[in-house]
Amino acid sequence: MPARNNLKAIPAALAAAGFAASVSLPALGQGAGMLEEVIVTAAKRQQTLQEIPIAVSVVSAEIIEQSQVLDIKDLQTLVPSLRVTQLQGSAQTNFIIRGFGNGANNPGIEPSVGVFVDGVYRSRVGSALADLPKLERVEVLRGPQSTLFGKNASAGVINVVTAKPDLAGYSGSVSATLGNYNQKIVKGNFTGPISDNVAFSVSGSMNQRDGYYDNLELETEQNEINRWNLRGQLLWNPSDRMEVRLIADSDGIDEQCCGVANIVNGPTGAVVQALGGNLVPEAPFAYEGFYDFDPQNRIDTQGLSMQIDYDFDSFTLTSITAMRKLEQFDLGDVDYTSARLVTPDAANQRDTEIDTFTQELRLTSATDGPLQWMVGAFYFTEELTTEGSFGYGDQFRSYADFLTQAGTGGALNLAIIEAIYGVPAGLSFAEGQGFPSESYALDDDTLSLFAQVDFDLTEAMTLTVGANYTESDKQASANLVSTDVFATLPFGGTPFAGLQGLQFLPPYLNYPNSVEDGKSNDDDITYTVRLAYDLTQNINVYGGVSTGFKASSWNMSRDARPLASDLAALGAAGLLVPNITAGTRFAGPEESTVFELGLKAEFDTVSVNVAVFNQEIEGFQSNIFNGVGFNLANAGKQSTDGMELDVTWVPIDGLRVGFAATWL
């Protein structure tokens, strides 16, 4: 089949280097400008951006609006260390920070970059792709953050903070935007008090745009936008000590996405054309292709969360409880040509449902003094089910017959092979054969305990020490039904061994079974040690080491195969299926480490942040598409070195100039 590549461009972050620049002119004033103080909660306590010794980029609501950033994917235009790759579907998206990231295309993998919205963990990218609601800010924490965020933050964190309801008075806004490709965006929000201590807010948006990728076969368009979101909040302040925030949200995406490009027209391209199919060969930026049916992407996600903060005399108690549901459906023409090689009604379709519950409790010191501390616990439980199918189209037998004859110099065809092996004539690669039923399930229970202490060694020097213990228990299962008769034929060790290349859908060995229990249990202790020193009132430097951890990920695809070490026991138990090969059912944990030096300087009109780092992940969970499924395995060690620069300048009132760059 022809090679293909993602059509989406990545304008703001490159593999080797990236930069972003912005100029904001809301209203030009007359006097000298002054930098505003930026408050962040990257360390789960309120601190200013300049005093927190962490490499973090903060994008305010004002900058997001002026830059026309609509969703998390667009943040890469403002944060060069963040790269977002969207692949062949709306939800097949990877968030990558400092070169690290994974999770697309395989629901059994949680991303290495954790996404949190108002303190609630979004366990899959699909639940974080909706257009952004009314915001306060977005924080992008670079490097492993497992000490405080615990759950799968081995590469970094995107922390979205939305605006609270307003107790002071009523306000709201409505906006409408028109763009090319018939784009229409409507957004609105309203907030105000219900009583002296209760306030509410509601917001919603609708975003639609025609596609810009032409399907030449059906004269349709792909890469469209069709999404909406609704969000409601209640804020209750029963006393000066207590605040309760209740949030309910619902988001939807229903799109035909995404067109791909042919970058290498391989030898099977001619076979596709001989069958009457077509493709656009070797044109990465043609923005057009031939498909016998359009892809479908539907994502619906809903959530309910409650945050309670209570101020005691010497500490603050915070509780965040949340329930979320993600429903995701994907269907695609996976041969990416107009040849009917896969069936439209069962063409690599996948229907996934994920239910999560999270509970976080933490105590944070609230007194002055040389010692500031935080302790907490985080519990996560998730139930995932995903069902799918794969079926050959009505032209696949002819396609396979071409390859059979080419591979045997014209001496054999499928009819001869069927006669030799006693297969009913015409059954090999018949329409609908393949995997008519695929069913996977994954249950995850995770507990994290964390603590962090900031101790002022002197008036100018602060030592930070933090630790996290995480334990994750997972139970996975797979039940697949194979009807591909050709894949069961014993070609190995015969004159027909060359035909094994066409047995790319061998029968699947379901699990758990008497040899494979489908369970993984992982635990790890991560830590942070950091020293910060105030050179002057305006300049401080810091240095330290942090580690991160992500638990095992299970391969929820038809290419999950038993370990080579289990084949003998499976054979002894009589469980082996025809033509089975070894592989992996899951990839073990990721463990990351970063060494970092940083400088933060802030004056009246200019701020400069610099970070130099060396970061590596041991046991990186590599998820590689092999044409029919995904090979998931630990790919040894991955490492990066780099430097990040972030400069903000306010020369006069109303004019803000920002520059950010990453060398990786």
Is residue 411, in this structure, part of any structural domain at all?
no
- Residue indicated by tokens 């605006």: 163
Question: DSSP strand E in 50-134: where?
Answer: 56-60, 82-86, 93-97, 113-117, 120-122
Is 466 within 8 Å of 147 (Cβ atoms)?
Answer: yes
- The pLDDT value given to residue 588: 94
Is residue 405, in this structure, part of any structural domain at all?
no
- The pLDDT value given to residue 346: 61
What CATH number has the domain bearing residue 571?
Answer: 2.40.170.20
Q: How many domains does the chain have?
A: 1
Please state, in angstroms and rounded to a whole number, the distance separating the CA atoms of residues 646 and 498.
Answer: 57
pLDDT at residue 563 greater than cutoff 90? yes
- The pLDDT value given to residue 29: 43
- The pLDDT value given to residue 31: 56
- The pLDDT value given to residue 13: 34
- The pLDDT value given to residue 7: 33
Please state, in angstroms and rounded to a whole number, the distance separating the CA atoms of residues 133 and 229.
Answer: 8
- The pLDDT value given to residue 219: 95
Asked if omega into 512 is within 30° of 0 (cis), the reply is yes
Is 392 within 8 Å of 339 (Cβ atoms)?
Answer: no
Q: What is the mean pLDDT of residues 311-340?
A: 94
- The pLDDT value given to residue 17: 58
Phi-psi region of 421 (alpha: psi -120 to 50; beta: other; left: phi over 0): alpha
Is residue 401, in this structure, part of any structural domain at all?
no
- The pLDDT value given to residue 132: 82
Question: How many other C-beta atoms can be found within 10 angstroms of the C-beta atom of residue 26?
Answer: 11
Nearest to 629 by CA among 480, 498, 514, 431: 480
Q: What percent of the chain has pLDDT over 70?
A: 95
Is residue 359, in this structure, part of any structural domain at all?
yes
Give the pLDDT confidence of 27-65 residue by residue, as tens digits.
444 455 677 777 777 777 777 777 788 888 888 888 888
Is residue 407, in this structure, part of any structural domain at all?
no
DSSP 571: H
Is 395 within 8 Å of 341 (Cβ atoms)?
Answer: yes
Q: What is the mean pLDDT of residues 484-497?
A: 90
3-state secondary structure 431-465: CCCEEEEEEEEEEEEEEEEEEEEEEECCCCEEEEE
Please state, in angstroms and rounded to a whole number, the distance separating the CA atoms of residues 530 and 595.
Answer: 10
Please state, in angstroms and rounded to a whole number, the distance separating the CA atoms of residues 610 and 71.
Answer: 27
Residue 649: domain span: 5-394+431-663
Predicted TM-score (pTM) of this structure: 0.90
Give the pLDDT confidence of 150-206 residue by residue, as tens digits.
676 788 899 999 999 999 999 999 999 999 999 999 999 999 999 999 999 999 999
- The pLDDT value given to residue 334: 86
* H or E segment to which residue 162 belongs: strand 156-162
- The pLDDT value given to residue 505: 86
Is residue 422, in this structure, part of any structural domain at all?
no
Give the pLDDT confidence of 108-145 residue by residue, as tens digits.
988 888 899 999 999 888 788 778 888 888 899 998 88
- The pLDDT value given to residue 27: 45
Is residue 420, in this structure, part of any structural domain at all?
no
* H or E segment to which residue 299 belongs: strand 296-311
* Averaged pLDDT of the chain: 89
Lowest mean pLDDT, pick from 230-239, 405-414, 550-559: 405-414
Q: What is the mean pLDDT of residues 423-440?
A: 93
Is residue 410, in this structure, part of any structural domain at all?
no
